[in-house]
């Protein structure tokens, strides 16, 4: 860690102001560009270049940031109000359309990766919290306590109004995020308040998000706070808290996803209910989820609702004795959540699992959810993700981390 810290200090110390050269892109051209202030006019980040976020950078309302295929964006090290992050504020748009051969990569300045590379040449895929993350905020409906229209997103200081989200436009369009890998983020801005790899706050259905990888984020991999945006083809590897987290009556669909839990992963899925009177629900389907001895399948809580189907779980530990929650189980927490399940507001279908030796379906799938589950041998699952969607452009595929997935 001392060597890593020294490398970071040495790297960041040579950059002062915008448009200053930083690193060499491997062909003799210095092409790093430091971004040190909010983006207030339409801007394009170009293929073959590295852009360095020197702090919390917001794309402001009415402005579009275009990130061309193959661009690498690196966040400087910082915590608290100095944590680096990219915020797409309400009314702004991001056009980050990478390709399967040229993904867009967000990472830390400590990463020596250069344009054209997929795997980092010097970083371990478990190193987390080295910068902030990517936040997209919109004007779609969300369920807030007190039925207010807008609130501040977690991970951004309340003094920064670019962190507000919420509204009444479910078709709101925040742009495109396609073939993007987000790595080593989750910087802490305060006690128990970290930045997610990808935060989606009140994002509308006009936004396109597909083919997204989040690696080694100190907080959640992807977290939805209300909104209506759907996400297709998502991969979460070594998240520090929860891999997939949903809140505030998110009303979109997550389709085709892989979770690879790491040593710090708490829940593969953490599903929360609405906080106000707005009671929309979401769909999560076609997922393959690899556990870790420290991880739990899923926790549905606080009046969770929605439809969860075609999910395969494996490599989880035996559950703890607690009948409500614990390691290695699929549980419902709280009377409201259990009532939603019994009333068909919270629905499950086609859940499959390869369980630890001696574990029964009833022990792993709590609160009566076992009636929707079945046991299968490893790699004999008939439901789950199509891992071919992640070939070629993800670090997980390059590191052979998908070998256990069918």
Residue 310: per-residue pLDDT: 98
Tell me whether residue 157 is in a domain: yes
What is the residue whose two structure tokens read 């009833």? Answer: 362
CA distance 53 to 33: 9
CA distance 79 to 356: 39
User: Are the CB atoms for 135 and 153 separated by under 8 Å?
Assistant: yes
Q: Taking residues 80-89, what's their average pLDDT?
A: 90
Percent of the chain, pLDDT > 90?
85
CA distance 275 to 391: 38
CA distance 200 to 216: 18
Dump pLDDT digits (tens) for 217-275. 999 999 999 999 999 999 999 999 999 999 999 999 999 999 999 999 999 999 999 99
Residue 157: per-residue pLDDT: 84
Q: pLDDT confidence of 350, banded at 50, 70, 90? A: very high
Tell me whether residue 65 is in a domain: yes
Cβ burial of 377 (10 Å; 0-12, 13-18, 19+) is: exposed
Q: Taking residues 171-192, what's their average pLDDT?
A: 91
Residue 326: per-residue pLDDT: 55
Percent of the chain, pLDDT > 70?
90
Tell me whether residue 26 is in a domain: yes
User: Are the CB atoms for 116 and 70 separated by under 8 Å?
Assistant: yes
Buried b (16+ CB within 10 A) or exposed e, 318-327: bbeeeeebbb
CA distance 361 to 376: 11
Q: Taking residues 347-368, what's their average pLDDT?
A: 97
Instruction: Reply yes or no on whether the pLDDT at 367 is more than 80.
Output: yes
Residue 155: per-residue pLDDT: 85
Beta-bridge mates of residue 227: none
- Phi, psi at residue 225, to the nearest 5°? -115, 90
Tell me whether residue 403 is in a domain: no
Tell me whether residue 406 is in a domain: no
User: Are the CB atoms for 33 and 53 separated by under 8 Å?
Assistant: no
For residue 386, the tally of other CB atoms under 10 A from its CB is 13
Residue 322: per-residue pLDDT: 55
Contacts of residue 371, Cβ cutoff 8 Å, sequence gap at least 6: none
CA distance 357 to 148: 49
- Tell me how many domains the chain contains: 1
Question: Considering Cα of 69, then 70, then 74, then 80, what sign does the dihedral take?
Answer: positive
Tell me whether residue 404 is in a domain: no
User: Are the CB atoms for 31 and 70 separated by under 8 Å?
Assistant: no
Query: How does DSSP classify residue 38?
Result: -
Tell me whether residue 212 is in a domain: yes
User: Are the CB atoms for 312 and 349 separated by under 8 Å?
Assistant: no
Instruction: Reply yes or no on whether the pLDDT at 324 is more than 60.
Output: no
Residue 192: per-residue pLDDT: 61
Q: Taking residues 294-320, what's their average pLDDT?
A: 96
How confident is the prediction for the chain on average, in pLDDT?
Answer: 91
Q: Taking residues 163-189, what's their average pLDDT?
A: 96
Lowest mean pLDDT among 96-110, 176-190, 297-311: 176-190
CA distance 151 to 342: 32
Beta strands 85-88; 56-59: pairing state = parallel
Instruction: Reply yes or no on whether the pLDDT at 11 is more than 70.
Output: no
Q: Taking residues 133-158, what's their average pLDDT?
A: 95
Domain range for residue 302?
2-398
Q: Taking residues 206-217, what's their average pLDDT?
A: 98
Residue 79: per-residue pLDDT: 79
Instruction: Reply yes or no on whether the pLDDT at 16 is more than 90.
Output: no
- Phi, psi at residue 398, to the nearest 5°? -65, -30
CA distance 185 to 196: 7
Q: pLDDT confidence of 180, banded at 50, 70, 90? A: very high
Instruction: Reply yes or no on whether the pLDDT at 135 is more than 80.
Output: yes
User: Are the CB atoms for 264 and 128 separated by under 8 Å?
Assistant: yes
Q: pLDDT confidence of 197, banded at 50, 70, 90? A: very high
Beta-bridge mates of residue 134: 86, 198
Instruction: Reply yes or no on whether the pLDDT at 117 is more than 70.
Output: yes
Q: Taking residues 26-55, what's their average pLDDT?
A: 87
Instruction: Reply yes or no on whether the pLDDT at 191 is more than 80.
Output: no
Tell me whether residue 332 is in a domain: yes
Instruction: Reply yes or no on whether the pLDDT at 93 is more than 70.
Output: yes
């Amino acid at each position: 860690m001392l060597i890593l810290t020294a490398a970071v200090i040495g790297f960041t110390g040579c950059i002062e102001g915008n448009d200053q050269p930083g690193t060499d892109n491997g062909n003799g051209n210095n092409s790093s560009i430091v971004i040190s202030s909010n983006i207030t006019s339409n801007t394009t980040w170009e293929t073959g270049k590295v852009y360095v976020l020197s702090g919390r950078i917001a794309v402001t309302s009415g402005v579009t940031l275009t990130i061309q295929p193959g661009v690498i964006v690196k966040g400087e090290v910082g915590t608290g109000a100095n944590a680096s992050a990219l915020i797409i504020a309400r009314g702004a748009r991001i056009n980050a359309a990478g390709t399967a051969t040229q993904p867009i990569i967000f990472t830390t300045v400590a990463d020596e990766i250069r344009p054209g590379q997929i795997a980092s040449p010097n970083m371990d895929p478990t190193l987390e919290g080295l910068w902030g993350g990517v936040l997209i905020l919109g004007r779609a409906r969300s369920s807030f306590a007190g039925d207010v229209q807008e609130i501040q997103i977690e991970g951004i200081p309340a003094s920064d109004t670019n962190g507000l989200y919420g509204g009444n436009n479910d078709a709101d369009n925040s742009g495109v995020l396609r073939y993007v890998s987000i790595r080593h983020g989750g910087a802490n801005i305060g006690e128990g308040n970290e930045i997610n790899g990808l935060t989606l706050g009140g994002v509308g259905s006009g936004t396109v998000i597909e083919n997204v990888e989040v690696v080694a984020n100190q907080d959640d991999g992807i977290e939805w706070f209300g909104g209506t945006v759907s996400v297709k083809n998502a991969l979460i590897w070594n998240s520090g808290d929860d891999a997939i987290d949903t809140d505030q009556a998110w009303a979109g669909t997550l389709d085709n996803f892989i979770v690879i839990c790491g040593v710090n992963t708490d829940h593969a899925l953490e599903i929360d209910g609405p906080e106000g009177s707005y009671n929309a629900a979401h769909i999560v389907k076609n997922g393959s989820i690899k556990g870790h001895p420290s991880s739990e399948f899923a926790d549905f809580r606080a009046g969770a609702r929605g439809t969860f189907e075609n999910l395969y779980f494996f490599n989880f530990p035996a559950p703890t004795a607690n009948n409500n929650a614990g390691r290695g189980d699929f549980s419902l927490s709280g009377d409201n959540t259990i009532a939603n399940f019994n009333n068909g507001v919270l629905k499950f279908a086609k859940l499959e699992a390869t369980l630890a030796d001696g574990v029964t379906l009833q022990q792993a799938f709590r609160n009566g959810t076992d009636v929707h589950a079945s046991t299968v041998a490893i790699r004999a699952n008939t439901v789950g993700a199509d891992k071919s969607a992640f070939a070629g452009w993800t670090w997980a595929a390059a590191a052979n981390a998908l070998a256990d997935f069918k």
